[in-house]
């Protein structure tokens, strides 16, 4: 049983990665429904929380059905991160996660996110202060290093554990790589198999099939897998991985009806949580993913992404569901 303090996550947990503008409460609800064991919020700016910025505060919204759930923060100033931790603590998340992995330039140029990988001593001091500031378990998400010359993740993980971090998720790329090339899991395996380490180590990067999840579990011995991009438009991926690991067989791909119902759920929860205008705008990025792999669907996808009328969109989605037989899945199905 993998545990973060007293939080039981199962024998081999699957985690939903914190993804900006993706892993909000509506999307997390779908991932939880379809097998995610632990989820994290979108990353939240410590400076935004301190300033009481509406967007940052809203990102702290968590609900009982999602638990266990972690709130992730990022920042470059230790005092601000400590103060943000106290603000987050009031919302009673199960976990507080520190982002040392975001590679986006507007974050790293300020020394936050993966930018902290250029100053490991400060990274450790910041983590130590956050752990001391709260009674909630603290976890970390990070990368192998800043670049190929600074892949210090094995020693950094030891130091993070020494200051009280209770689990670490590692993306198998450097910051310089961004999301290019293949994720290198060999160092993730070294962290997990380091005899000094006793906290859970989760691997992240390029897990896009149940087969690969099984292979990496067996090859690197990690405690669980954090899934990011493979879940976008595909919240079923968590249960697909679990089913394959348990049986060696694939679940049938979600039907047109399944896809429409998930899209409708996502849309209506988004409208309720963030308001109709923002929900309609932000759902456009999801339609393509929900209906990926369907032949002759371009016309309907275009209507979905160009319409700004909620009734028009919902009527079209119901029509697609009612006329499911007109569409053909072209993705492989076992």
pLDDT digits (tens, 9 = 90+) for 193-241: 999 999 999 999 999 999 999 999 999 999 999 999 999 999 999 999 9
Are 234 and 306 in the same domain?
Answer: no
Are 63 and 100 in the same domain?
Answer: yes
Distance, CA of 48 to CA of 51 (rounded, Å): 5
**Closest to 40 measured CA to CA, from 12, 80, 74:** 74
Single residue among 247, 268, 291 that ends a domain in this structure: 247
In a domain, residue 161? The reply is yes
**Distance between start and end Cα atoms, the chain:** 30
Are 163 and 77 in the same domain?
Answer: yes
pLDDT at 334: 40
Q: What is the pTM of this model?
A: 0.93
In a domain, residue 290? The reply is yes
pLDDT at 201: 98
- Structural domain range at position 184: 3-247
Number of domains in the chain: 2
CB of 208 closer than 8 Å to CB of 240: no
In a domain, residue 334? The reply is no
Query: Among residues 31, 44, 87, 102, which one is catalytic?
Result: 102
Are 297 and 170 in the same domain?
Answer: no
Query: pLDDT-derived band of residue 156, with 50, 70 and 90 as boundaries?
Result: very high
Are 42 and 110 in the same domain?
Answer: yes
Tell me whether residue 102 is one of the annotated catalytic residues.
yes
pLDDT at 139: 98
* Interior angle at CA 62, CA 56 and CA 63, nearest 5: 155
Are 186 and 86 in the same domain?
Answer: yes
Are 42 and 180 in the same domain?
Answer: yes
Mean pLDDT of the chain: 94
Which residues lie closer than 8 Å to 233 by C-beta, 6 or more apart?
286, 288, 289, 290, 291, 292
């Amino acid at each position: 049983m993998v545990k973060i303090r007293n939080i039981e996550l199962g024998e081999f947990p699957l985690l939903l990665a914190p993804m900006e503008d993706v892993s909000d409460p509506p999307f997390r609800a779908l991932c939880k429904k379809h097998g995610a064991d632990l989820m994290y919020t979108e990353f939240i700016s410590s400076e935004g929380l301190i300033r009481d910025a509406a967007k940052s505060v809203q990102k702290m919204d968590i609900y009982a059905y999602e638990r266990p759930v972690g709130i992730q923060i990022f920042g470059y100033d230790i005092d601000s991160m400590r103060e943000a931790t106290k603000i987050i603590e009031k919302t009673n998340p199960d976990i507080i996660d520190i982002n040392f992995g975001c590679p986006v330039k507007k974050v790293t140029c300020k020394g936050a996110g993966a930018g902290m990988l250029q100053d490991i001593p400060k990274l450790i001091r910041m983590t130590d202060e956050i752990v001391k500031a709260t009674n909630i378990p603290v976890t970390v998400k990070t990368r192998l290093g800043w670049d190929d010359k600074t892949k210090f993740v094995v020693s950094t993980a030891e130091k993070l554990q020494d200051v009280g971090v209770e689990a670490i998720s590692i993306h198998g790329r450097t910051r310089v790589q961004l999301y290019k090339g293949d994720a290198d899991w060999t160092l993730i395996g070294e962290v997990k198999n380091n005899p000094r380490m006793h906290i859970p180590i989760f691997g992240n990067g390029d897990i896009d099939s149940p087969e690969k999840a099984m292979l990496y579990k067996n090859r690197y011995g990690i405690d669980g897998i954090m899934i990011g991009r493979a879940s976008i438009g595909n919240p079923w991926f968590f249960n697909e991985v679990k089913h394959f690991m348990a049986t060696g067989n694939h679940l049938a791909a979600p039907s047109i009806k399944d896809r429409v119902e998930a899209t409708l759920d996502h849309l209506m929860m988004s409208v309720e949580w963030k308001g109709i205008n923002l929900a309609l705008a932000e759902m456009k990025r999801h339609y393509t993913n929900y209906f990926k792999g369907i032949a002759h669907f371009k016309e309907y996808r275009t209507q979905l992404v160009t319409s700004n009328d909620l009734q028009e969109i919902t009527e079209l989605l119901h029509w697609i569901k009612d006329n499911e037989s007109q569409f053909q899945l072209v993705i492989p199905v076992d």
